Amino acid sequence: MRSLEPKLASAAVTASALVLLAAYLRIRPALIRPPSDTAPKPPARSPRWRLPLEEGVLPPRHPYPLDLLPGGRDVETPYGFLRVYEWGSEDGQKVLLLHGIGTPCPALGEMARELVERGYRVMLFDFFGRGYSDAPTDLPYDARLYVTQIHLALASSPLAWSGANAFHLIGYSLGGAVAASFARYHPHAVRSLVLVTPGGLIRSHHVSRTSRLLYSEGVLPEPLLRRLVRRRLEPRPSSPPSGGGGTGDGGQASSEFDDAVIDPSRPGLRVADLMEWQLRRHPGFVPAYRSTLRHTPIYDQGDAEWKPLRGILAARRQKGAVGEGSKLPGLTGGRICFVLGETDSISVPEEIGEDAKRVLGDEAVVIEVVKGAGHEVGITRGRDVAGLAVEFWMSSEQAT
């Protein structure tokens, strides 16, 4: 009997092995084939694809006609279509403008027109999920996505927007945070950096508990959060706090922001009109907005995201940094210009100035405060901001 025990044990092992092998062969296709939910998901289509193909047939009061800005084009990308505008002298210095979190790129139209009148070549585009750009549905809206979108927009031009000192970069509100991230990783390409009431250095005490809840993840059901955020973003110009799309209290801004006129040639077109249109017509707007506030470095990011710029700027202020008679390309003069609104309660001038100098160094920071303007300064005072930017560029060039 004892002689049978090893044989029985061996048979049991063999049987177990066969059972495991059969189980493996059964589940092997699932192991080697990626699950279906890892495949790229289609983007949420922008309102662009609900319009007639012929331009100029929109109602006269449409908040965002396709020809609101010159030089428009639709660019196909792996993330969906991207709406880009580019015009101005082909021989002029190039300027890329980045808009805020809630309003698409026509919000910076006055600034762009002023720069074109001064001989510059400008480019603007709608961030994903805003305006006429599609909205990726399977990616976080973090600095990586926004920096990638900049590259996609630049690559779509028939002109060269790459290389050393390729273009000036102006970022407004959220666009300021994105511009700082881009300059951190591509300092050689950015000829100068102007940040208008930027995100990134906004102190987190400006975010209410309600906003922390609305833009959290996993606390409340997502469908409920989307409905609550949509309701919060609906413009209410008559109320003191409104949801006009600033980067302050989770999207809240003042009624002055909601009532800000987008285009001087169309005095009836306000920020509130564009916000309401996006809420009604762009299925990717609210998800993109929420994801941006969750993942993009907007609040208290000085030490984490901005500090690397300190050394980059300092190196460009050194004479002969690369060798005798030569200098590092990009960020001419080793300084960044901050344009702030005097009454801004989101990007508070005193706080932004203090934190910028602490993180970047006193010599690296130029502060310009526009009197009588709030967070909407980049929209309503575009010509003034453009003038300050040009003065900064000229002074930086003369200092080198």
pLDDT band per the 50, 70, 90 thresholds, residue 235? confident
Report the C-alpha gap between 320 and 20 in whole angstroms. 69
Confidence (pLDDT) at 250: 46
Kindly report which listed range (72-81, 142-151, 300-309, 391-400) carries the lowest average pLDDT score.
Answer: 300-309
Confidence (pLDDT) at 32: 56
The model's pLDDT over 161-182, given as tens digits with 9 standing for 90+, comes to: 999 999 999 999 999 999 999 9
More confident residue, 222 or 152: 152
Confidence (pLDDT) at 164: 96
Confidence (pLDDT) at 72: 97
Q: How many CA atoms lie within 13 Å of 208's alpha carbon, on the beta-carbon side?
A: 11
Every domain of the chain and the residues it spans: 71-227+283-399
| CATH annotation of 71-227+283-399 | 3.40.50.1820
Contact 161, 184 (CB under 8 A): no
The model's pLDDT over 304-344, given as tens digits with 9 standing for 90+, comes to: 789 999 999 999 998 644 444 458 999 999 999 999 999 99
DSSP β-ladder status, 167-172 and 94-98:
parallel
Categorise residue 70: left if φ over 0, alpha if ψ from -120 to 50, beta otherwise. beta
pLDDT exceeds cutoff 90 at 398? no
pLDDT exceeds cutoff 70 at 37? no
The model's pLDDT over 127-165, given as tens digits with 9 standing for 90+, comes to: 999 999 999 999 999 999 999 999 999 999 999 999 999
pLDDT > 70: percent of the chain: 81
Confidence (pLDDT) at 58: 60
The two most distant CA atoms of the chain are separated, in Å, by: 103
Whole-model pTM: value is 0.85
pLDDT band per the 50, 70, 90 thresholds, residue 368? very high
Confidence (pLDDT) at 303: 75
Kindly report which listed range (111-115, 123-127, 233-237, 268-272) carries the lowest average pLDDT score.
Answer: 233-237
Contact 112, 97 (CB under 8 A): yes
